[in-house]
Structure 1
């Protein structure tokens, strides 16, 4: 998922805390009232997954909504609203889920199979605004529904009865079970959809929740809200927290201060703040299956539509310096669009990202030669590049790093950095008003397909307008006749990553590692490398 851009992995990061509290003593207070204080690094745009899809939204929904499955301690799908993890029939193309009969919405209504049908139809309809409808590709008729070629009732999902959901696929999807923990596949209350209409999810009181907590106090634009225990949740007896508070904190130094003051129990830190706290007893590193990268606008008329200019930009950036000196939070340089440890290639026994690392990743002299060649091909002596990022402090620092590297090493390169609120950045990116866009893609499930989908020619998330018939063919084959043939599937995965690297379709910068300051008595958190952190069964001891 892109930040705006988010679920499973083969294993979860297990963190053992022998931490000591700092600042005022809030640990005992947290234990007494079981209130967890959290931060988000960006705003919520909407709680409706048919309207928006970003990390802050999914972090909230992960802890307030429930789907068919939930990732367990080992990071594997476990029954949630579904009574069991089911095996497909019809040669891997049909899934039949039996739903819990005691599951309820926060207003007391039962959760039904039709609530899933309503949600999936809304998210695949042509009117969906999230840019995430493509995630349903493979569900029967999903793409045709999204393109307006078929009505939504032709989508391959139906309620056989109140508590039985049937899903039909167009081809076997080995990763389908893992996808079912994603918020995109969560149900939506039909009663709430009817009551709130086009206001559904625009504020916390305009939707119902079927998860462990209910969102309260989000007006649609404010930067703080809370999640209160949902007594109608079917497993509420095992939910120990009474409340979670969340606030948007974009600056790492501010996050550190709030942690010291006892106003945050889990604070994310980066940059110089993280660098100065590497020996702090409260610090933990969480490796995530995400890659921070530059989306390069390759549309006609934009400088980076020239392949030599793209290659030059790729080779001129000292990514190790960026990770070690600018970020200083444990992050490592990235060289593929797929993050390390996301998936092992079963046909080779190797980590997929490691085996696909390009031979050449940093060569200033060659970059300068390619840059000069690209300028000559475009008939220009200089190039102005518009760079967009949001206004988080660390993201501004990354923008300044890229600007400095290009302008100091490539003759005639001028980079104009726009560090603006996320909504502003996304608006310009969606309109194509950029040359480089700093973004994050966090894998939704433990398979390279979670990354490769978004780089296909017609994918709604492909704002850089990358287009390769060869690449599209590799991904299409992996999603059709080769899906159930392991050797062929992974051959296509390797070919797809090789094509992205050859074309410099995107520019990977660094792999996602989060530095967290965590209170020593916070237990029960599931730190998933893929997707969102699960706090639903957290508690203070």
Structure 2
């Protein structure tokens, strides 16, 4: 499939906008523009509404409108959105005991959307609940809290003594096993949301859990729509962490194909679409609606995780054969061309700390992918002895994800596998490929940073403690575990506290080590294209959560 030249030229010529800065947002807020209904559209929902379980970009964009942590990422454009600011806490924490103790003072007179007051008891319950609901990252992030390791092994008996509260002083104290340079980042993402103390210790699915944000969910039907309205108990305590928001109502429609989404946004029936613009529409949109398009680089990569504990990919040679055989230029074309994606052979994306260009899986290995090496791929395939093995590739049933799967099928067949593609709704595919009970051999997915740290790619996606057998929340989809590399990752995290540059060098080495073992085939680094209606103004693109719906206004 060839990329339309006119679309590529038009997109390449567009300036990459970093979003509005905090001062620009504040200046715009003075002018008003409150009210109206913002209409968003996607091909499917993204599963559970539970902020301590959902791990998808689609809902991480909107969960910060409903929930707050003790700290949060600033709602601003570009890289300013990586700044951590006080949220439900009155200020940044007092850090003592050589970085192992964090003391927060909770704001007073804040209520959840059901009218219940926010208390230190609710804070403590929220962190115990993380372990009891088997949050995807309790073993890689939150087990640093004293008692966390026991809670990972025995969630039902979790008491988490490392979280201490004092109702008299309205303080919450975290005691860590060791200093952690990323602890505040991990408190600021949706997993760190503070929920009512009586929230059940189970995945709440489609049931909205009361939150403290400017908006609440009035209706959620995954097959049709989500309706968000203003939280009647909300009061703005921090413009940086949780602004009032402009729309009075936000409707998120599910079920339209990407092509139908483009038409709906083009005709101003919807104001923003989640899914990528199909290639056969890209030329028209780029030519006619350049002022309504935004392109932004991402800390992200598309990849094909291969199950290292199942045939045929429990065989290193079979994985290497796939990695060498992929023509990443073809995949870039499927995604929209060089203006929208760049081939990659490694896990860390450009712009991430520790990133150093590295490409083993190409002709003439070095720093850049140039072409597949089929001779080497066939050599490894023969060595593997896996020719004839049946392989099912699990993708989302919408393009470009499904198109990437079809391409990978052709590669696997050429290598000698007997491959087929199984498409699943994007509402279900991400959790499906995580659960080892589904016996997924290889899949297609994409990873966006939780926060800008190399561990968020390397340790989260390929760390031993990220694999949870039989769980929908097992983000180590490859089921990869290497004790030697795991120890290096643990050491790099600790080293980054006082010696970040030395730690970055360790992450560079770790990136190369994991890449060489091929638990996944890195495919390309994407850019993000947003197409908006003529009604939508004050578009803000956050480096942390991308499009920020509550900061847009509509006519």
Question: TM-score if structure 1 supplies the norm length?
Answer: 0.84
Look up the match of 1:228: 229
Look up the match of 2:117: 110
Gaps in structure 1 of 5+ consecutive residues? 1-11, 17-30, 344-351
Distance in 1, Cα, partners of 2:395 & 2:254 = 17
User: Residues 53 and 130 of structure 1 are in contact (CA less than 8 Å); yes or no, is this contact kept in structure 2?
Assistant: no
Distance in 1, Cα, partners of 2:70 & 2:438 = 37
Look up the match of 2:30: none
1:237-285: CA deviations, max 9, x gaps? 8432201110125632111011023221112433413354233321111
Secondary structure of 1:218's counterpart equals: strand
Q: Measure how far apart 1:105 and its partner are.
A: 0.7
User: Residues 308 and 374 of structure 1 are in contact (CA less than 8 Å); yes or no, is this contact kept in structure 2?
Assistant: yes
Distance in 2, Cα, partners of 1:341 & 1:520 = 32
User: Residues 250 and 392 of structure 1 are in contact (CA less than 8 Å); yes or no, is this contact kept in structure 2?
Assistant: no
1:315 to 317, 320, 324: 324
Look up the match of 2:340: 330
Distance in 1, Cα, partners of 2:73 & 2:34 = 28
When structure 1 is superposed on structure 2, of 267-276 and 420-429 the one drifting more is 420-429
Secondary structure of 1:305's counterpart equals: coil
Look up the match of 1:420: 424
User: Residues 67 and 212 of structure 2 are in contact (CA less than 8 Å); yes or no, is this contact kept in structure 1?
Assistant: yes
Secondary structure of 2:400's counterpart equals: helix
Distance in 1, Cα, partners of 2:390 & 2:284 = 36
Distance in 2, Cα, partners of 1:239 & 1:424 = 32
User: Residues 268 and 535 of structure 2 are in contact (CA less than 8 Å); yes or no, is this contact kept in structure 1?
Assistant: no
Q: Measure how far apart 1:214 and its partner are.
A: 0.7
Q: Structure 1 residue 14 and structure 2 residue 19: aligned?
A: yes
C-alpha distance 530-338 of structure 1, shift in aligned 2 (>3 A): farther
Distance in 1, Cα, partners of 2:307 & 2:256 = 26
Secondary structure of 1:172's counterpart equals: coil
Q: Structure 1 residue 97 and structure 2 residue 104: aligned?
A: yes
2:295 to 285, 294, 309: 285
Look up the match of 1:470: 484
C-alpha distance 357-168 of structure 1, shift in aligned 2 (>3 A): farther
1:145-176: CA deviations, max 9, x gaps? 11118942234222222632211222222222
Look up the match of 2:507: 493
Secondary structure of 1:105's counterpart equals: coil
User: Residues 70 and 78 of structure 1 are in contact (CA less than 8 Å); yes or no, is this contact kept in structure 2?
Assistant: yes
Look up the match of 2:470: none
Distance in 2, Cα, partners of 1:53 & 1:240 = 26
1:15-42: CA deviations, max 9, x gaps? 69xxxxxxxxxxxxxx785211112454
User: Residues 36 and 265 of structure 1 are in contact (CA less than 8 Å); yes or no, is this contact kept in structure 2?
Assistant: yes
Look up the match of 2:5: none
Q: Measure how far apart 1:64 and its partner are.
A: 1.3
**What RMSD, in angstroms, separates the aligned Cα atoms of the two structures?**
2.9
Distance in 2, Cα, partners of 1:217 & 1:146 = 33
1:449-490: CA deviations, max 9, x gaps? 111222112423223222223211211212346643334422
C-alpha distance 62-528 of structure 1, shift in aligned 2 (>3 A): same
Q: Structure 1 residue 303 and structure 2 residue 312: aligned?
A: yes
User: Residues 141 and 156 of structure 1 are in contact (CA less than 8 Å); yes or no, is this contact kept in structure 2?
Assistant: yes
Look up the match of 2:277: 270
1:505-516 to structure 2, matched below 5 A, reads 505-516=519-530
User: Residues 395 and 429 of structure 2 are in contact (CA less than 8 Å); yes or no, is this contact kept in structure 1?
Assistant: no
Distance in 1, Cα, partners of 2:91 & 2:539 = 23
Look up the match of 1:537: 551
C-alpha distance 396-447 of structure 1, shift in aligned 2 (>3 A): same
Secondary structure of 1:180's counterpart equals: helix
Secondary structure of 1:91's counterpart equals: helix
Q: Measure how far apart 1:534 and its partner are.
A: 2.8
Q: Measure how far apart 1:432 and its partner are.
A: 4.9
Q: Measure how far apart 1:540 and its partner are.
A: 3.3
Secondary structure of 1:493's counterpart equals: helix
Distance in 2, Cα, partners of 1:365 & 1:37 = 43
Secondary structure of 1:232's counterpart equals: coil
Q: Measure how far apart 1:54 and its partner are.
A: 2.8
Look up the match of 2:187: 180
2:248 to 216, 224, 242: 242
1:320-359 to structure 2, matched below 5 A, reads 320-328=329-337, 330-343=340-353, 352-358=354-360, 359=365
User: Residues 406 and 414 of structure 1 are in contact (CA less than 8 Å); yes or no, is this contact kept in structure 2?
Assistant: yes
Gaps in structure 2 of 5+ consecutive residues? 1-16, 22-32, 238-242, 468-474
User: Residues 539 and 547 of structure 2 are in contact (CA less than 8 Å); yes or no, is this contact kept in structure 1?
Assistant: yes
When structure 1 is superposed on structure 2, of 234-243 and 313-322 the one drifting more is 234-243
Distance in 1, Cα, partners of 2:256 & 2:456 = 27
User: Residues 49 and 123 of structure 1 are in contact (CA less than 8 Å); yes or no, is this contact kept in structure 2?
Assistant: no
User: Residues 42 and 56 of structure 1 are in contact (CA less than 8 Å); yes or no, is this contact kept in structure 2?
Assistant: no
Q: Measure how far apart 1:381 and its partner are.
A: 4.0
C-alpha distance 155-266 of structure 1, shift in aligned 2 (>3 A): farther
User: Residues 336 and 353 of structure 1 are in contact (CA less than 8 Å); yes or no, is this contact kept in structure 2?
Assistant: no
Q: Measure how far apart 1:445 and its partner are.
A: 1.0
Question: TM-score if structure 2 supplies the norm length?
Answer: 0.82
Look up the match of 2:397: 391
User: Residues 101 and 175 of structure 2 are in contact (CA less than 8 Å); yes or no, is this contact kept in structure 1?
Assistant: yes
Q: Measure how far apart 1:524 and its partner are.
A: 4.5
Look up the match of 2:471: none
Q: Measure how far apart 1:57 and its partner are.
A: 3.4
Distance in 1, Cα, partners of 2:285 & 2:151 = 51
2:152 to 146, 150, 171: 146
C-alpha distance 291-530 of structure 1, shift in aligned 2 (>3 A): farther
When structure 1 is superposed on structure 2, of 95-104 and 367-376 the one drifting more is 367-376
Look up the match of 1:207: 209
User: Residues 321 and 380 of structure 2 are in contact (CA less than 8 Å); yes or no, is this contact kept in structure 1?
Assistant: no
Distance in 2, Cα, partners of 1:393 & 1:223 = 20
